[in-house]
Structure 1
Amino acid sequence: MHASRVRLPMKDEAKARKARARAGTAPLSSTNRDQTVPGWELTVGIEIHAQLNTAQKLFSPAAAESHDAQDVEPNDSSHVAFFDVALPGAQPIFQPATLVPAVRAALALHCTVQRVSRFDRKHYFHWDQPAGYQITQYYEPLARGGYIELLPRDGIYGETPVRVDIVQVQMEQDTAKTLAQPGGVYWLDFGRAGMPLVEIITAPQIHHPATAAALVRKIQALLHAVDACTSGMEAGGLRADINVSVRRVGDDGVAIGPLGVRTEIKNLSSFRAVEDAIIAERNRQIAAINAAATAGHPDPASVIESETRGWTPPSGAGEGGQTHRLRGKEGVVDYRYMPDPDLGPVIIDDELVQHLGLTLGVSPDEELDRLVEEYGLTPVDAAALMALDSGGRAQYYYDVVDAVEERLSTSESRNLDGVRPFVANWVLHQLGKLTAEKVAVMEGQEVATLGMTSEGRCRVPVESLADILAFRYQGRITAGVAKDLLFAVFRGDVGGEEGPLVEQVIAAANLWFDEITPEEYRALAQEALVGETGTLKLFLSPKKNIQGKLQYLVGKLLRMGPEGRTDPQHAEAAVRAEIERWVEENRKA
């Protein structure tokens, strides 16, 4: 393959280092954006609905695969049983296998699994609930009394860890999926009706929007880690309902009176939507109460109605998102909860709970600690690896690290201290750039998606990336050549079952990096400083911002050096060393 076929314009490495530095200190969420309102306390409770990872539905043998993942046609007969559409005479048949992921979810949340739980009917009429009631657990749920610990690195507001109690975890059936059509027409897909869910109910102990989003994010990570949930928010496998209320606080910071009237925001399907919807609803309630107080209302807080609201995200025109009324809030009496007469109690053996508890595997917190402490990653990069591609990006990273370290273990040219963060940068940032809009089309061909699976396999084979990174880490190829080779692998021109191996392409196109020696770097650095006395004097004062001057001198060295044989990082190190020598000599003088 010709060199011009492989090479792309080299990105400026100084900018890349700055980007990495920013990534290492950036918060996981917008924790400083509109998190508090002086004089007011926000209180949030969350209900999370997560689809269980099972083969069958909760009360029928119909298949429970995700429609999006399996490309299943709406109302496919293999995914809709008689009971799912409430045909007369159809009876619920509890599928015991659904207990396994449900119990795993409860244990991951530190809940106590109840030996006996029962199903209840929650009555309400809506077109997506053909029976006129939903089968859930209200009086005797699957589990109670858990908690989740949120740390600053999880993206909460502030630096103090937050503990949020889990009131209960209950199993229940999902509703049909509503598909909006033009002209105000709605179609129903009963393939989702009866899907097995767990509903996780938290106590109203959250007081900042970013903390609420962090809780949903962490629960999703926990459910995925224990193989309880099919997919996350991005794929529709998890949804959140948010209960919001506000009340005034005194000058001493203590809340005044009982909790305010709460409203519920339904079916939020992204972490950003959770945070934004809470902010919008909090602001709406505060504005309404303030307006009532200004108008002389005897009880301004009473103007907030207990109701169910929806969320309209911000528009492309720049208008902020807002909540809107859906209906009045139903109460326990409205739902007419009653034990389901067609289903017996669910009795769970203690040995099953113990066995599942021993096989939960590594928790997200433990894995993040490992990535930070053993792999040298920043908490932000570690969290990003774990969150991307349903955990597939993290598995891919582990595999690439193992392969790179194996290749470098026989090399004495460099130690392995910085290998793992080095690989993380490529797996996180450079892989992500492959599908960026600016490289979406090359040579007239559409570029496909990365195609990362949860097992850690994608369009860029582990072995190919390991070859590229091992050569780059050893300094045998430049950063620009490494990026070009990565893109060539992504296109399918290099590696894989039919393409040439990475090393063969480098050799055939003469892409090996014949770097100059340290002595040559030193000589070039000394030459670059000739005639730069005025610039060098700036380095005598540590108060001056001299980063730009340093880069000017580095660029001068790179222009003076032989083309294609200098490395920007090594050039910068050589210039720094000569500057330090000059400063030391002139301070003595």
Structure 2
Amino acid sequence: MSRVPTAELSRYLLTGQVSRRGCLYARNPRIAVCTLLRPTRQTRNVSSHAATSTKLPPSVIASAGNPLRKQLKDEAKALKASGKKKKKNANNQTVPGWELTVGIEIHAQLNTARKLFSAAATSFNDPPNSHVALFDVAMPGSQPLFQPETLIPAVRAALALNCAIQPVSRFDRKHYFHWDQPAGYQITQYYHPFARDGRVVLRARDGIAPEDGDRVEIDIKQVQMEQDTAKTTAQPGNVHWLDFNRVGLPLIEIITQPQIHHPATAAAFVRKVQMLLSSVDACVSGMEAGGLRADVNVSVRRAEDVGTGRLGTRTEIKNLSSFKAVEDAIIAERDRQIAVLETGGMVEGETRGWSLGSTETRRLRGKEGEVDYRYMPDPDLGPVVIGEDLVAHLASSMGMLPDAEIDELVETYGLSSKDSLSLMMLDDGARIQYFYNVLEELETRLGLSEGSDQRHALLAANWCLHELGKLTELPSDLDMTPDGECRVPSGDLAAILSHLHKREITARVAKDLLWGVFRGEISAGGVAQAIEAGSLWFQEISEQDYAKLADAVVQGEDKVLGEFLRFKQGKAKAYPHGKLMFLVGKMMRAGPEQRMDPASAERVLRARIEGVYLPALEGS
């Protein structure tokens, strides 16, 4: 390969001007070399030599911001169009006669202000190529400078994963050439990572496969720091745009032992790791926003080989971007490998890909090994020494971890495990903080003390999780902030729930008020004024009016009343609750709108059934 002149390399890295001579085109002339987004000057750049950019075309912006829910819908449509039927994952965790083995590598972007080896600012949604230092694009003569503050979230993450922090760690070079890797190598910690020997405990409530029972432990082999690559955006005509903002962003790679044997458990593990990293503020965002990516190593072996200790040939599926993709891709690759072996073939060690809407993994390239990457110690970086005092301080300041918090939500507030997990996972952990804000304000308004009836907590959780979720198609549209505030201020939701809890408004009015606050039709702090202005206060009908309605709706319902009589006489095992709610529904429809409470209607109707209607039936 001929030497590329420095001036030509500079034009390629900073302005996207690429010569058609030489090796860049020689490998495959049909593929155009990637072009760069040309920068525009930014006053907020960290480095005076940072590159700049023009705006992306609307089509590119739309594809880059394609929401996860839409991706899943597109996947379902593609599967339906293919004509293939897909087994439900819940019934597809095992294949008789075979054992699946999975190891996972998770790459998480650390929550830091600087890149790993340069002073350029970390950037997630800023204009492309607006935060790029000379070292980020491997300009000749530039040197890496380790940023010590990147250690803080990394160590917090490792502690949350129950890892042993190594007092001395070192950086290595992992060599491979690709257009998103300007230096031709990635700096990582292959031989001497900063953390080892961790473990993550998964319980049934985390969504593990039923075959794993109530609890399973997954060992973490090591956690290493490494730099990210550039972001590639594909364009029509085999053209690719590169955003070097992402080059050098600090990552941790979490590597498990090959101990997972069911696809659902693998997805549960990734979900649990994301929740752990969010709880200690180590990761900038979750899988849905691109801050966390997973690679899975999949192999299968026959059941009779389980006791030998030999695993099958593994393949790696790269860059899975959702929990569902993790489970689906593992199932597809497992089934492919089993089909190959059952027909007398051999599984090749290779790297494979997965696309939304697909039912099969696809080959990307042959599997690289340690020799291919030519690992070597980085000569420009010294060892990283982590003091015991730093580790002790970070360990003591981490606060409550997810399992302990879920236990408290279940035991103290009476929430279900499912709702607790959902609150903690949504909005990268901000939704649970919103719940606490609402709950604190609600208890103040109701004058409740610690240890009192916790029905108000269930009410707050239901509205923070379900009613709030009905306002938008995407959770991000709520504009939830890390401190637990959004387009519906926590104080306003607490005010609505306070009036609802005291039965001063109906549930329907409460939902209308929630919409009004969300749309900005009700100003902050103006819930009570809106109720007063609209004469929305709940003026419940009397007990006598409820009784009259009950008498009216049971007319001609002798067959329904007969079900209650059969239960009273011991001829039916279960109380006919469904019949009772049928009659309550008739009462609610027959009575004056917005002046009836379903609980009151049920109470009066039940009393009249037992005290009036059934004695009349028995005496007739």
Aligned match of 2:92: 34
Distance 1:246 1:255 in 2: 14
1:362-511 alignment, distance < 5 Å: 362-409=400-447, 416-436=453-473, 449-496=477-524, 501-511=526-536
Deviation string 1:307-335 (CA, Å, 9 cap, x unpaired) is: 00110221xxxxx4321111100111111
Aligned match of 1:558: 588
Which runs of 5 or more structure 1 residues have no equivalent in the other structure?
1-29, 293-299, 315-319, 438-446
1:533 matches 2:587: no
Q: Under a length normalisation based on structure 1, what TM-score does the superposition of the two structures give?
A: 0.85
One-letter amino acid matched to 2:536:
L
Instruction: Tell me if structure 2 keeps the 8 A contact 1:464–1:495.
Output: no
Cα shift at 1:236: 0.9
Distance 2:609 2:366 in 1: 72
Q: Under a length normalisation based on structure 2, what TM-score does the superposition of the two structures give?
A: 0.81
Instruction: Tell me if structure 2 keeps the 8 A contact 1:166–1:202.
Output: yes
SS in structure 2 at match of 1:420: helix
Cα shift at 1:138: 1.2
Instruction: Tell me if structure 2 keeps the 8 A contact 1:62–1:80.
Output: yes
Distance 2:349 2:169 in 1: 30
Cα shift at 1:262: 0.4
Distance 1:504 1:45 in 2: 58
Cα shift at 1:408: 1.1
Instruction: Tell me if structure 1 keeps the 8 A contact 2:220–2:256.
Output: yes
Distance 2:448 2:392 in 1: 45
1:184-583 alignment, distance < 5 Å: 184-250=238-304, 258-292=310-344, 300=345, 303-314=346-357, 320-409=358-447, 416-436=453-473, 449-496=477-524, 501-518=526-543, 520-539=545-564, 540-541=566-567, 542=572, 546-581=576-611
1:51 matches 2:109: yes
Distance 1:262 1:175 in 2: 25
Instruction: Tell me if structure 1 keeps the 8 A contact 2:123–2:246.
Output: no
Instruction: Tell me if structure 2 keeps the 8 A contact 1:405–1:416.
Output: no
Instruction: Tell me if structure 2 keeps the 8 A contact 1:248–1:255.
Output: no
Distance 1:582 1:153 in 2: 46
One-letter amino acid matched to 2:104:
I
Cα shift at 1:254: 5.2
SS in structure 2 at match of 1:186: strand
Judge which range, 46-55 or 501-510, deviates more. 501-510
Deviation string 1:505-554 (CA, Å, 9 cap, x unpaired) is: 11121111111234543453344334432211123243579455323311
Instruction: Tell me if structure 2 keeps the 8 A contact 1:52–1:98.
Output: yes
Deviation string 1:77-96 (CA, Å, 9 cap, x unpaired) is: xx111111111111111111
Distance 1:448 1:501, change over 3 A: farther
SS in structure 2 at match of 1:43: strand
Which runs of 5 or more structure 2 residues have no equivalent in the other structure?
1-87
Distance 1:204 1:580 in 2: 62
Aligned match of 2:3: none
Instruction: Tell me if structure 2 keeps the 8 A contact 1:151–1:162.
Output: yes
Aligned match of 1:296: none
SS in structure 1 at match of 2:123: coil
Aligned match of 1:85: 137
Aligned match of 1:21: none
Distance 1:575 1:54 in 2: 61
SS in structure 1 at match of 2:229: coil
Distance 2:540 2:164 in 1: 62
One-letter amino acid matched to 2:600:
H
SS in structure 2 at match of 1:305: coil
Distance 1:254 1:307, change over 3 A: closer
Higher relative contact order (CA 8 A, sep 6+): 1
Number of matched residues? 523
Distance 1:38 1:103, change over 3 A: same
Distance 1:321 1:545, change over 3 A: farther
SS in structure 2 at match of 1:205: coil
One-letter amino acid matched to 1:73:
P
1:113 matches 2:157: no
Distance 1:503 1:390 in 2: 32
SS in structure 1 at match of 2:477: coil
Instruction: Tell me if structure 2 keeps the 8 A contact 1:129–1:176.
Output: yes
Instruction: Tell me if structure 2 keeps the 8 A contact 1:249–1:256.
Output: no
Instruction: Tell me if structure 2 keeps the 8 A contact 1:176–1:191.
Output: yes
Cα shift at 1:239: 0.5
Aligned match of 1:12: none
Which of 177, 184, 188 in structure 2 is aligned with 1:136?
188
Instruction: Tell me if structure 1 keeps the 8 A contact 2:201–2:216.
Output: yes
One-letter amino acid matched to 1:478:
T
Cα shift at 1:410: 7.4
SS in structure 2 at match of 1:32: helix
Cα shift at 1:213: 0.6
Cα shift at 1:375: 1.4
SS in structure 2 at match of 1:459: coil
